[in-house]
Structure 1
Amino acid sequence: MPATTDPQDCRWVWPPRIVPTSLLSHSLLSRATLPYGGAFEPETAMLRKSCNRDAPTAPGKAPKKTPSAAIPWGPGRLLWPVRRASQCLEPRFARRSARHPERLLARGCLKLGQALGPVLGLALAVALQAGCASDPARDPRRALATVPADALAAAEALQQDGKPAAAAAAYLELAAAAQAPARGQLQLAAVASLLDAANAAEAGAVLADIHQPELTGTQRQSARLFSAELALRRGNSQQARTALKRVNQGALPKHLRVRSLRLQAAVDGLDGQPLQAARSLEALDRLLRDDHAARLDNQVALLLTLSSLGPEDLREAAAGQRGSLRGWVELAALFAQHPAPGPGVTADYQRWRARNGGHPALANLSEGYFAALAGGYPAGTDLLVWLPEDGRYGGAGAMIRAGIRAARDADPGADRPRLRFTSGAAETGADLVIGPLDKQAVTELAGRAALAVPTLALNRSSDHSPTSNLFQFALAPEDESRNAADYAWAAGTRRAALIYPDDGFGERLTAPFRRQWRILGGEIADERPYAPGGPSADAMAAAALVPPAPSADVIFLVAGSADAGAILDQLRQAGSRLPVIATSHVYNGDQAPERDRALAGLYFVDIPWMLDQERTDALSRNALRRTQPKVQGSLARLYAMGIDSYRLAPRIAGMARLPGSVFPGATGGLTVDAGGLVQRRLQLAQFTPRGPVLRQAMAPAAGQTSAP
């Protein structure tokens, strides 16, 4: 008998005589492939493991021997390939694929098809794969086939009409009378609607009430996705990231894959990783191919996310990226050079598209991007601004009011709101409210269960429990301390020394740094309070670190520019080379060469509006210096707060429904957390003898390398 050749050298072979031709044709057997490398061969005499004696061998090695493991004839012999294929379904194989049961079943069905020949096997594989691997939750209509069609359509209509809370109630009513898998599908739909209604508490209660064992595989993945979203809504991005890793994205239906990618982008955005967030949004763009409007919104969100890097960081990031993500970074840098729409940016964008013909950026992306930066008010909006005109907050109110007016005057949108001001309690009849500014008034609003219309308060209450329709936006110095901790940690430093004035203000700024530093995993190596303004304040603070604390690798400094200069001078004289980072209190925005030389090398965090020296548009600080002398005073940052409050008001509720969505404001990269608090991502700068310059990151101390 002629030897059988095989590229794998060894294989199972089966004689045609053992299978009656009435069952399978000779031609099918001659081409069929057995599992694990076997094959049907009409030339062979028996089913055996056959090795090619003439197979080439490696130099210095003996040829392989042919085993004589012939399988005896018997009733089980005909079903042997079926048994071999079915081993894919046994528990020992299931252990390997516990996270992907649908893949396991599909694999078993396909192996069975391979064993029975290409024609019969193909038909059987298709039929069995449909039966084995199909999950009704992948098709909600199939999972909900037993639900009354009219009642289900009514619930879905409520969701589509922008009434998610009512839709959730309707889904839960249907779930109470349904059986699995419809019950689980309806409960999950209610969770999604409650999340869309920004009711995380009730969404969590419904999710906890779902009987997990009766869920299908895909429904379990959906439940995990909603658990991750709930964690993010509660402000725990790390828990959300961990939960997302447990979600099998391939098992989710398309609309939940969209939700998952948005959630991943939100987690990365909140963790200060805009490039990672952009990658998720880039993947989402591919998923939205058939929906032009959704793609445009997503591409705008991608560029807004990248814009939080700042112009210099964008240029550096573009050099380190490849493929389409590099194009997105280039576009973000291009649009950052044009703070307002106009012929110039349109021409630049068209030239960029001509050079990058294969890039997925839409033709009308430029218009969509600048429309998002405009006011964004619906036609006929009545905007009420509640600010004091005198008293303790009178000066601050005047600066914010001026910023709001300037933002409205510069709004390129066709639908500007009707603007009304009040110094007392908010009047009825408004569509949106900005204010109040007084902390006590904000706390009073926070004590209510809900507000009638979206209200953007310009301070933070003492009570941080969420109130429906109340959002709190403040230029809190505590934000600066947390940002300073984040930048110091990103530089690889892990052991911080704190220098701060021994008063309430010093403790107010040091406490959030200390708290954030420990959350990140850092250690407080030393704390040295000093008497503010005292004749020996600088020497006392510096002496505490001279020689520098051996375990410290960074210094957080709380001081005004005068004290900061004296303390830095003492540290330099003592030979300290540790990097020092401070809050914006060291910089008032004025051009002061003497101060800049004294503070050279000092890092600090501040709002983009104070640091951007390149912008010259109507709302830039460079332009406003000529018409608004007060933008150079101690209240200058409140002008930027007025600009951002005007732009945030119409989109604040939508941002709350999408945690992690970033708006590039004059006061920082702005996001809204689960409690309705506006969080700010500030920019990093460093003093040089020529003035402050933007930095992407802090440099580690001389002689040190960044920690992983």
Structure 2
Amino acid sequence: MARLRPLLLLCFAALLAACSSSPSSTLGELPRTPQASTQQLLQQAQDSSPEKAAQLRLAAAQQSYQQGNLKQTGDILRQLDLALLKPAQQIFASTLAAELALADGNPQQALAALQHPAFERLGELPLDQQIRSRLVRAQALEADKQLLAAARERVESAPLLSGASAEDNHEAIWRLVSALPRDELQQDSDPTLSGWLALGDTVKQAGTLNQQQNAIEHWRQQNPQHPAALRLPEPLGKLLRLEAQPLTHIALLLPTDGPLAGPARALRDGFLAAHLQAQAEQRTELKIELYDSSRIASIDELYQRAARDGVQLIIGPLEKEQVRKLADRQALPLPTLALNYSDAGQIAPPQLFQFGLAAEDEAREVAHRAWADGHRRAIALTTRGDWGNRVQQAFRQSWQELGGTLVAADSIGQPVELAGQIARLLQLTSGDTPTRRQDVDFLFLAATPQQAQQVKPTLVFQYADDLPVYATSHLFSASNDRTQYLDLEGIRFAETPWLLDSQLPLRQQVEQKWPQAGSSLGRLYAMGADAYLLAPRLNQLLALPETRLDGLSGSLTLNPERRIERSLPWAQFRNGQIERLADTP
């Protein structure tokens, strides 16, 4: 033993040296639950070495975050020098910073925090920290509208999870996949994600409820071991449980006389064109009955006639007053998809769905687009009257909910007043070097083409040619008038897919017979086609509120009040032409 002792000492020393240079020692330890208060930890940090002080501050930041004190957490993290921490602690601190950024509504800042080089060693950390960091990344990607990347992150995280967190993650994957446009539902190198994407695509391709149910079952048979086949996401489970009642008979209720006869014809022709296209593709055996709302004496007479004819669904009326009367009823004898909206706040019967080209939808679109583009302070200029007031209020509410500030607002008066109105909104000062307020990021505009043509030149005259302008579709005449478009140079606006894509097959078919479908009237043709799209899917939208239909008047969803809401693509006027803008991330 005496002779072996030196050898044992040498081995022990070698073992210590190996441990000191092992991956675990270079990785560092994660903060533990401290026994001291946040203030005590911060006090200790003041009297400690720089490395120890950084660790104490990290523990204090985590404790403060757990207690819900986000401001204090941010203050502590700003004092933290990540370079003084080891990789595990850097990952912990960066994850905490990302959580804080998400709580503050800043997903891009969160994603930046999660780019720290230390994350290359995330797989070496304890399982709970791996899960925490990965799920924060998934949440940040989703908040930043990177839905496919968020789904991929959750698919990769799934094997780490169990229990309720696994179930929540499973449902979140489907929520993300089902929100993707079809062009993103392509094969992926990850077979599990590929299966999810194929499921999303097969559900989107199917038209009617019965077709969707068959498509889901067919996918399950082809992918029996996929996580979604072993446990179908809850929305798809609901879809399978819905009783398939094929829609075979519709009444289209529109006026043939009066001030709405022209818009009604465009709606009717768009609806029937979509029906003929479906028939040509052998996708329907639907019977359509045409009713004239200008010749029906009462609501009761309407539904009595529909019952005699065997109608299952009424689409219409278009007249707002008639929609108000329907909304006043406690119940309706048949499901009805009105082509206009009742008054805001009016509680409608459960059988009444409402769909229209609501300007309020576009005002909300402007708010979301401007916010996504990084703007935070707005001024608003809208058409004078009830319509303009409603649009301005919808923008104000949505903008403030996002966290934006509406600095000032006005209604467009007579042309001779416009220069003075814009000068007041911009607080323009006179003198040798006129100046305007600098605390405004953009102008929200809801105006006619003629009004909008005056706004942009006036902004140039008022030393505000660099002020971005975001507008509703109402300024776009679709006239292909280059002179008019030049007066609107640089203005961004929301518009229907129908008017932004002249290559749409249905639009091309309709324009051959009705050339005016390529003008601003095209929005009504698109709405008619989308009423046809919605008709067999109303029960699906009720059962699956997150369902989004890609229509020709916009991307369509159903809100809790059973009103169809539209999201629209974006374009801008550039050199006398219309330039399609990329979707926001």
Q: CA RMSD, aligned part only? A: 4.6
Q: 2:475 aligns with which of 577, 581, 586?
A: 586
Aligned to 1:171: none
Aligned to 1:465: 347
> Which amino acid in structure 1 is aligned with residue 481 of structure 2?
A
> Which amino acid in structure 2 is aligned with residue 584 of structure 1?
S
Partner-residue secondary structure (3-state), 1:525? strand
Aligned to 1:598: 487
Aligned equivalents of 1:568, 1:544: Cα separation in 2: 14
Residues 1:387 and 2:261 aligned together: no
The 5 Å alignment of 1:209-248 reads: none
Aligned equivalents of 1:280, 1:465: Cα separation in 2: 41
Task: Please say if residues 481 and 513 of structure 1, whose CA atoms lie closer than 8 Å, have aligned partners that are also in contact.
Answer: yes
Partner-residue secondary structure (3-state), 1:497? strand
**Aligned-pair distance for 1:281?**
12
Aligned equivalents of 1:458, 1:687: Cα separation in 2: 30
Task: Please say if residues 464 and 675 of structure 1, whose CA atoms lie closer than 8 Å, have aligned partners that are also in contact.
Answer: no
**Aligned-pair distance for 1:475?**
0.8
Q: How many residues align?
A: 393
Partner-residue secondary structure (3-state), 1:430? coil
Q: 2:563 aligns with which of 673, 677, 695?
A: 677
Aligned equivalents of 1:360, 1:401: Cα separation in 2: 45
> Which amino acid in structure 2 is aligned with residue 433 of structure 1?
I
Deviates more, 1:521-530 or 1:477-486: 521-530
Do the aligned partners of residues 579 and 330 (structure 1) sit closer, same or farther apart at CA in structure 2, a change above 3 Å counting?
A: farther
> Which amino acid in structure 2 is aligned with residue 392 of structure 1?
P
Partner-residue secondary structure (3-state), 1:685? strand
Q: Deviations over 1:466-503 (max 9, x none)?
A: 52232111111111111111111111111101122343
Q: Deviations over 1:220-279 (max 9, x none)?
A: xxxxxxxxxxxxxxxxxx9xxxxxxxxxxxxxxxxxxxxxxxxxx9xx99x894726982
Q: Deviations over 1:574-609 (max 9, x none)?
A: 332121101111112221111222212100011111
Aligned to 1:551: 439
Aligned equivalents of 1:554, 1:323: Cα separation in 2: 42
Aligned to 2:411: 529
Aligned equivalents of 1:503, 1:496: Cα separation in 2: 21
Q: 1:396 aligns with which of 255, 260, 263?
A: 263
Do the aligned partners of residues 461 and 553 (structure 1) sit closer, same or farther apart at CA in structure 2, a change above 3 Å counting?
A: same
Task: Please say if residues 252 and 316 of structure 2, whose CA atoms lie closer than 8 Å, have aligned partners that are also in contact.
Answer: yes
Do the aligned partners of residues 656 and 601 (structure 1) sit closer, same or farther apart at CA in structure 2, a change above 3 Å counting?
A: same
Aligned to 2:323: 442
Aligned equivalents of 2:253, 2:398: Cα separation in 1: 33
Residues 1:571 and 2:443 aligned together: no
Aligned to 2:282: 413
Task: Please say if residues 318 and 340 of structure 2, whose CA atoms lie closer than 8 Å, have aligned partners that are also in contact.
Answer: yes
Q: Deviations over 1:193-215 (max 9, x none)?
A: xxxxxxxxxxxxxxxxxxxxxxx
Residues 1:496 and 2:378 aligned together: yes
**Aligned-pair distance for 1:624?**
2.7
> Which amino acid in structure 1 is aligned with residue 478 of structure 2?
G
The 5 Å alignment of 1:99-138 reads: none
Residues 1:307 and 2:181 aligned together: yes
**Aligned-pair distance for 1:299?**
12
**Aligned-pair distance for 1:386?**
1.4
Q: 2:15 aligns with which of 51, 56, 61?
A: 56
Q: 2:358 aligns with which of 463, 471, 476?
A: 476
Aligned equivalents of 1:694, 1:439: Cα separation in 2: 33
Aligned to 1:163: none
Q: 2:549 aligns with which of 663, 677, 682?
A: 663
Normalising by the residue count of structure 1, what TM-score does the alignment of the two structures yield?
A: 0.48
**Aligned-pair distance for 1:626?**
2.7
**Aligned-pair distance for 1:328?**
9.7
Aligned equivalents of 1:681, 1:594: Cα separation in 2: 29
Do the aligned partners of residues 600 and 494 (structure 1) sit closer, same or farther apart at CA in structure 2, a change above 3 Å counting?
A: same
Aligned equivalents of 1:272, 1:627: Cα separation in 2: 43
Runs of at least 5 residues in structure 2 that lack an aligned partner in the other structure: 21-32, 34-104, 106-137, 160-171, 208-225, 230-243, 297-301, 429-434
Q: Deviations over 1:657-702 (max 9, x none)?
A: 1112110001111011122111111111111114112212589xxx
**Aligned-pair distance for 1:2?**
11
**Aligned-pair distance for 1:521?**
1.0
Aligned equivalents of 1:499, 1:278: Cα separation in 2: 37
> Which amino acid in structure 1 is aligned with residue 15 of structure 2?
P
Aligned equivalents of 1:447, 1:601: Cα separation in 2: 44
Task: Please say if residues 495 and 554 of structure 1, whose CA atoms lie closer than 8 Å, have aligned partners that are also in contact.
Answer: yes
Residues 1:513 and 2:395 aligned together: yes
Do the aligned partners of residues 502 and 396 (structure 1) sit closer, same or farther apart at CA in structure 2, a change above 3 Å counting?
A: closer
Task: Please say if residues 526 and 549 of structure 1, whose CA atoms lie closer than 8 Å, have aligned partners that are also in contact.
Answer: no
Do the aligned partners of residues 57 and 386 (structure 1) sit closer, same or farther apart at CA in structure 2, a change above 3 Å counting?
A: same
Q: Deviations over 1:4-25 (max 9, x none)?
A: 9xxxx9xxxxxxxxxxxxxxxx
Q: Deviations over 1:541-580 (max 9, x none)?
A: 2563244422111110122222222221121233321211
Task: Please say if residues 155 and 193 of structure 2, whose CA atoms lie closer than 8 Å, have aligned partners that are also in contact.
Answer: no
Q: Deviations over 1:76-99 (max 9, x none)?
A: xxxxxxxxxxxxxxxx9xxxxxxx
Q: Which one has a larger percent helix, Structure 1 or Structure 2? A: 2
Do the aligned partners of residues 278 and 452 (structure 1) sit closer, same or farther apart at CA in structure 2, a change above 3 Å counting?
A: farther
**Aligned-pair distance for 1:460?**
1.2
Partner-residue secondary structure (3-state), 2:513? coil
Task: Please say if residues 383 and 433 of structure 1, whose CA atoms lie closer than 8 Å, have aligned partners that are also in contact.
Answer: yes
Task: Please say if residues 273 and 510 of structure 2, whose CA atoms lie closer than 8 Å, have aligned partners that are also in contact.
Answer: no
**Aligned-pair distance for 1:449?**
3.4
Partner-residue secondary structure (3-state), 1:675? coil
Partner-residue secondary structure (3-state), 1:513? helix
Aligned equivalents of 1:452, 1:458: Cα separation in 2: 18
Do the aligned partners of residues 638 and 472 (structure 1) sit closer, same or farther apart at CA in structure 2, a change above 3 Å counting?
A: same
Aligned equivalents of 2:378, 2:247: Cα separation in 1: 53
**Aligned-pair distance for 1:630?**
2.9
Task: Please say if residues 491 and 697 of structure 1, whose CA atoms lie closer than 8 Å, have aligned partners that are also in contact.
Answer: no
Aligned equivalents of 2:515, 2:251: Cα separation in 1: 26
> Which amino acid in structure 2 is aligned with residue 305 of structure 1?
A
Do the aligned partners of residues 556 and 331 (structure 1) sit closer, same or farther apart at CA in structure 2, a change above 3 Å counting?
A: farther
Q: 2:450 aligns with which of 562, 566, 569?
A: 562
Aligned equivalents of 1:556, 1:323: Cα separation in 2: 43
Do the aligned partners of residues 435 and 585 (structure 1) sit closer, same or farther apart at CA in structure 2, a change above 3 Å counting?
A: same
Partner-residue secondary structure (3-state), 1:604? strand
Q: 2:151 aligns with which of 279, 287, 303?
A: 279
Aligned equivalents of 1:491, 1:3: Cα separation in 2: 77
Task: Please say if residues 469 and 653 of structure 1, whose CA atoms lie closer than 8 Å, have aligned partners that are also in contact.
Answer: no
> Which amino acid in structure 2 is aligned with residue 606 of structure 1?
E
